[in-house]
Structure 1
Amino acid sequence: MEKNLASSGDVSSGVWTAETSAGTEASSYRWVALFIVWAAFLLSYIDRVAWSTVAAPVGASLGLEVALLGAFVTAFYVGYVLANVVGGILTDLLGGRTMLTLALLPLGVFTFCFGFTHSLMTGIVIQLAMGFAAGADYSAGMKIIPAWFTRDRGRAMGIYTTATSLAVIIANAVVPSFSAQHGWSNTFRMLGVVTFAWGFVALLLLKNRPANDSQPARNSVKEMLGLLRNRNLIILAIAGCGGLWATVGFGAWGNALMTRQYGIAPVVAGSIIASFGIGAMIAKPTLGWISDLPGVSRKLMSILCLLAFVVTLLVFGNCSTTAQFYLVAPILGAFSFGYLPVLMAQVSDASGKRLAGASAGWTNAVWQMGSAVSPLAVGHVYGNTHSFMLALLTLAVGPLVGVCAMFFVSKHIARE
């Protein structure tokens, strides 16, 4: 009997040891997984905002009218929106690692090819292809993160979304000066090579989920389509669309507006937008971490961030000197990106991590509709009025709509 008890104890101890070992491995590796998807998001975002940093000087050399400077950005986001719907579903079917690889490799190729652009139509076609290739990177990351992070998911989302802010900083700090020295074409070719290489890193090193995760390997199409009837997801999609209308619209036009309206040099304008990115870098992980705290309402945090975004856009619209822009830009950056990790955590909570890819894909597709339209809308307003303030007012409409939408989100979304 003692022998049996000892055997039983050995088995129990063995199971405990295996589970503990698996838990320790998962706890350590999750930061590796987060870094891989974060770096992929960083490269993808640098590829998409690089044009905005050189649009004013390069657009003139290509013979583009002022109102058409945002056409390449819009083309990218049209492809991005289309790919998000398909990419989100495929992410849940094929896994985050596969889809991230399938996003990065062709994105690298098309970004490299954009360096050979010599006409408006060629640039639009290539940017459309770039957007379509990059469409799955977001849903892949949103699939990987909930698999590895649970209680501290908001913090992980905040860290993940710092990639977009750092991308703004890097793009504005590096791309204009590198383009001035080596040519804008070589800049895009270099970005293409780096993006392509990271696709292989994701393929070789990324793991979809912990070994002890027992969730089903495949979700049914019926379950994914059911997300389209989820009231909270619908409202969060509308709110995010309004927010990104202004976030991406400002990213596409911030440099060009300051250069055109006040004669600020592209390198200086890039430095101002880089400070805008620094504000976002600080705000996103901080707000994500706060949203994880017990008793904190992610709904209320989203409303306050979007409302502050509206106010700071109007303040920025009243600026006219370099000193004023430097002062307001970091604050604007904090609110123009700070709402994102809080919304993303709510999307993941509303769908559950098993359907995180599909829910992230279709909500982000709606979000990016604002991204696709706003650069052209702002270009049209500014091209016809040459009013800096009216351009900023056009952007402010988006987060104001987001504030109104968030009032209808349920207060009781379970945190999975």
Structure 2
Amino acid sequence: MTSVHPGVRRTTSPAYRWVVLAMSWAAFTMTSVDRSTWGPASAAVSDSLGVPLAALGVFATGYYLGYVVSNAGGGVLTDWLGPRRVLAVSGAAAGLAMIAFGSSTSIAVGLALQAAVGLFAGVDYAAGLKLISVWFEPGERGLAAGVFMTATSLGTVIANAVVPSLIAASGWGTSYHVFGAVTVGIALLCLLLVRNGSAQTAAGSRAMPDVRPLLRNRDLLLLGLAGFGGLWGTYGFVTWSNTLMVKGSGIDPVHAGLVVVIFASIAIAVKPVVGWVCDRLGLGLRLPVAVLLAYFGVVLLVFGTLDSLTWFLVVAPLLGIGAYAYSPLTAAMTPLLVDSRVAGSAAGGVNAFWQLGSVIVPAAIGPVFAATGSFAAAFAALAAGPLIGAVITLFIRVPADAVRPR
């Protein structure tokens, strides 16, 4: 990332950068809430729209298809239009699509709207990181990025804490209406409060990077596969855990939501802490990623053997550590494997590939559970992703001079 443009601090109060971070984080949090709403709402949508259990995952897949597409191009779009405009327009469009989905009575229209929500929500990641690179000094960006990345976990917490109660009180559509309206409101605040910063004016003059070497970068491709396996487990659990606990173990929907809230809450602390520990102790990144992915896969297998609410609540935080601790490390590893001139393109491309795990797993787990009727079999299918990812990570070669304690 480049240094803060000198004009930024001279014309704006230093405290303003925290306003920028807060609005970026709020926008990213709400699109994460929008994404996570499907998990606790899916069973109710199934009953309302008559969607077969095995087909429920297709709705989540529709969302993630749009999300992957916008992740792949999000960095280019942010550089072209500016992060302020991207946050405002994409947030408003995603919120309106959420509201429309909450009133949908058609399976086909619902699938299209889920894809639209994902398409508009997927650019927040690049826009937020762009703003952090402009408004924060290099020594501050670790903290800023750590705070920003808690949005994905907090989104899962909020959705699972609120949606079951909203469904019980007034139906599944209300949750989509409420969260959609809040998303639109935050998008408007971004338009009013966020500034791109003076560095944005120079973005259009940069030459298009040559990304062809990235396609031949063995280690970057392996990192893409490892991260794919990790997200297979993480978002497979987020998408299917509520329904599997309700349908497979007879857990009350509100209690199932509580399990996922505990699971995701742990990540709010884990994400910044694990990166800080690895940096300070000089542990490197490759081995910790492999260990965390293997740990995640094993705990998923254990979770699949449980059949009581008490044990689900006990294991949930242990599962949350594995599900989220690897992600800041895989993100940090990306620029270590490529030339600095194409680090942004590498991050965008690899993140889009990682998200394919989110696209495929929702549609894959439903048929496994429908065919076997087995809670354990469904979680074994989820565990396969991070376990394979752990093995792949061991073959990544990180340059020795890139791994140093700060």
Task: Name the structure 1 match of 2:242.
Answer: 255
Q: After TM superposition, give the deviation of residue 143 of structure 1 in Å.
A: 2.6
Q: Which amino acid aligns with 2:73?
A: V
SS at match of 2:168: helix
Task: Name the structure 2 match of 1:278.
Answer: 265
Asked if 2 retains the 8 angstrom alpha-carbon contact of 1:312 and 1:331, the reply is yes
Spell out, residue by residue over 1:235-260, the C-alpha distance to the aligned partner (whole angstroms, 9 max, x if none): 32222111111111110100000000
Cα distance between partner residues in 1 of 2:356 and 2:378: 19
Quick one: structure 1 residues 256 and 175, their matched pair in 2 at CA, closer, same or farther if it must change by over 3 Å? same
Q: After TM superposition, give the deviation of residue 194 of structure 1 in Å.
A: 1.1
Cα distance between partner residues in 1 of 2:274 and 2:290: 13
Cα distance between partner residues in 2 of 1:285 and 1:142: 15
Task: State the number of aligned residues.
Answer: 398
Task: Name the structure 2 match of 1:164.
Answer: 152
Q: After TM superposition, give the deviation of residue 222 of structure 1 in Å.
A: 3.4
Cα distance between partner residues in 2 of 1:394 and 1:22: 51
Q: After TM superposition, give the deviation of residue 162 of structure 1 in Å.
A: 1.4
Q: After TM superposition, give the deviation of residue 106 of structure 1 in Å.
A: 0.9
Cα distance between partner residues in 1 of 2:279 and 2:24: 21
Quick one: structure 1 residues 308 and 255, their matched pair in 2 at CA, closer, same or farther if it must change by over 3 Å? same
Task: Name the structure 2 match of 1:5.
Answer: none
Asked if 2 retains the 8 angstrom alpha-carbon contact of 1:288 and 1:341, the reply is yes
| Of 94, 119, 125, the match for 1:132 | 119
- More displaced stretch, 282-291 vs 129-138: 282-291
Q: After TM superposition, give the deviation of residue 346 of structure 1 in Å.
A: 2.3
Q: After TM superposition, give the deviation of residue 333 of structure 1 in Å.
A: 0.9
User: Any residues of structure 2 matched to 1:40-51 within 5 Å, and which?
Assistant: 40-51=27-38
| Of 387, 392, 399, the match for 1:405 | 392
Asked if 1 retains the 8 angstrom alpha-carbon contact of 2:79 and 2:200, the reply is no
| Of 173, 181, 189, the match for 1:193 | 181
What residue ranges of structure 1 are gaps of 5+ in the alignment?
1-17
Q: After TM superposition, give the deviation of residue 212 of structure 1 in Å.
A: 7.5
User: Any residues of structure 2 matched to 1:245-394 within 5 Å, and which?
Assistant: 245-293=232-280, 295-350=282-337, 357-394=344-381
Cα distance between partner residues in 2 of 1:21 and 1:142: 16
User: Any residues of structure 2 matched to 1:69-218 within 5 Å, and which?
Assistant: 69-147=56-134, 148=136, 150-151=138-139, 153-208=141-196, 217-218=204-205
Asked if 2 retains the 8 angstrom alpha-carbon contact of 1:75 and 1:128, the reply is yes
Cα distance between partner residues in 2 of 1:124 and 1:151: 43
Give the TM-score taking structure 2 as reference length: 0.89
Cα distance between partner residues in 2 of 1:33 and 1:60: 41
| Identical columns (%) | 40
Spell out, residue by residue over 1:111-134, the C-alpha distance to the aligned partner (whole angstroms, 9 max, x if none): 111011112211111101111111
SS at match of 1:296: coil
Cα distance between partner residues in 2 of 1:225 and 1:240: 21
Task: Name the structure 1 match of 2:21.
Answer: 34
Task: Name the structure 2 match of 1:236.
Answer: 223
Q: After TM superposition, give the deviation of residue 141 of structure 1 in Å.
A: 2.2
Asked if 2 retains the 8 angstrom alpha-carbon contact of 1:92 and 1:357, the reply is no
Cα distance between partner residues in 2 of 1:355 and 1:144: 19
Asked if 2 retains the 8 angstrom alpha-carbon contact of 1:243 and 1:398, the reply is yes
Spell out, residue by residue over 1:62-93, the C-alpha distance to the aligned partner (whole angstroms, 9 max, x if none): 11111112111010001111222222322233
Asked if 2 retains the 8 angstrom alpha-carbon contact of 1:235 and 1:409, the reply is no
SS at match of 1:330: helix
SS at match of 1:341: helix
Task: Name the structure 2 match of 1:56.
Answer: 43
Q: After TM superposition, give the deviation of residue 385 of structure 1 in Å.
A: 0.3
Asked if 1 retains the 8 angstrom alpha-carbon contact of 2:270 and 2:325, the reply is yes
Q: After TM superposition, give the deviation of residue 184 of structure 1 in Å.
A: 1.7
Spell out, residue by residue over 1:271-313, the C-alpha distance to the aligned partner (whole angstroms, 9 max, x if none): 1111111222221121132233262312222222211111111
- More displaced stretch, 181-190 vs 257-266: 181-190
Cα distance between partner residues in 1 of 2:284 and 2:12: 32
Cα distance between partner residues in 1 of 2:291 and 2:20: 31
Larger Rg belongs to: 1
Asked if 2 retains the 8 angstrom alpha-carbon contact of 1:92 and 1:358, the reply is no
Asked if 2 retains the 8 angstrom alpha-carbon contact of 1:151 and 1:292, the reply is no
Structure 1 vs Structure 2 CA RMSD: 2.8
Q: After TM superposition, give the deviation of residue 154 of structure 1 in Å.
A: 4.2
What residue ranges of structure 2 are gaps of 5+ in the alignment?
none
Q: After TM superposition, give the deviation of residue 391 of structure 1 in Å.
A: 0.7
Asked if 2 retains the 8 angstrom alpha-carbon contact of 1:155 and 1:289, the reply is no
SS at match of 2:209: helix
Q: Which amino acid aligns with 1:195?
A: T
Cα distance between partner residues in 2 of 1:243 and 1:27: 38
Asked if 1 retains the 8 angstrom alpha-carbon contact of 2:82 and 2:200, the reply is no
Q: Which amino acid aligns with 1:297?
A: G
Spell out, residue by residue over 1:316-347, the C-alpha distance to the aligned partner (whole angstroms, 9 max, x if none): 11111110000000110121011111222223
Q: After TM superposition, give the deviation of residue 149 of structure 1 in Å.
A: 5.2
SS at match of 1:69: helix
